[in-house]
Amino acid sequence: MYELAVQQPEAECDFLDATYRKKVGKLPATLREDFCASHAVCREWVTRRRTNRAFGIDLDSSTLDWGRARQQSTLTPAQRSRIALANADVLTARRAPVDITVAMNFSYCVFKTRELMLRYLKAAYKGTRPGGMFACDAYGGSGSYLEQEEERDLDGFTYVWDQHVYNPITGEVLNHIHFRFPDRTEMKKAFTYDWRLWTLPELQELLIEAGFREPVVHWEGTAKDGTGDGVFTPSRRGEACEAWIAYISAWRP
């Protein structure tokens, strides 16, 4: 249910391929997915090209195991052989440098201090080859500071995003995901996120301090109905939306 409600690995990999190719002139081959959980991006990545390899890192062994089980039904043996997973801390894990390092689903927000966030980005820098790219997503907007619930009906269940607590002094948020079902049962607090809500300027400044260059915000366009259209383009100015999602890319020199 989480993957259906929250993750879009195909769209994310489309963005990574296009952004990298535009800058480098060729498609990337190696990817590291930090905070990978069920490693949906890794799984999508190895289906794209036979030359692609993916490395996933996460502290939660049970979630990694769930993703491994998903591999059995969705990937060929050859594709599975090109994924390597580590039950480890992204701050200290060591891997061969890759073309692209990613931190998706706002997972880096678990780092609540500037010191820890900078430490993470420096680790990501070391894990990215010279000429390689780092990318993450971010969210915000006036609605992200409100304590409220938002519902979205999906196939067979309702996804509930619960912005439970916001502290304007520290920037900390406590968010939950609940799932509600047609029989009126509910899976409360299926997932909980104790985060700091980082801003786009903060993230760009920290990326530069970590050693990356050319941080760029990729802002989502607007569809006719006023919602996001799923097309992200490099931008210097965004709209003061109630809710937005953006990507940030940066490069290791």
Nearest of 243, 239, 240 to residue 146 by alpha carbon: 243
Per-residue pLDDT tens, the chain, 253 aa: give them.
777 778 899 999 999 999 999 999 999 999 999 999 999 999 999 999 999 999 999 999 999 999 999 888 899 999 999 999 999 999 999 889 999 999 999 999 999 999 999 999 999 999 999 999 999 999 999 999 999 999 999 999 999 999 999 999 999 999 999 999 999 999 999 999 999 999 999 999 999 999 999 999 999 998 888 888 999 999 999 999 999 999 999 999 9
Q: What pLDDT, on the 0 to 100 scale, is given for residue 241?
A: 92
* Residue 141: closest CA among 177, 110, 166: 166
C-alpha distances (whole Å) from 200 to each of 19, 42, 141, 244 are 18, 25, 11, 11
What's the whole-model pTM score?
Answer: 0.95
pLDDT score at 2 = 76
Domains and CATH numbers, the chain: 2-141+197-251 (3.40.50.150), 142-195 (no CATH)
Q: Are 231 and 117 in contact (CB under 8 A)?
A: no
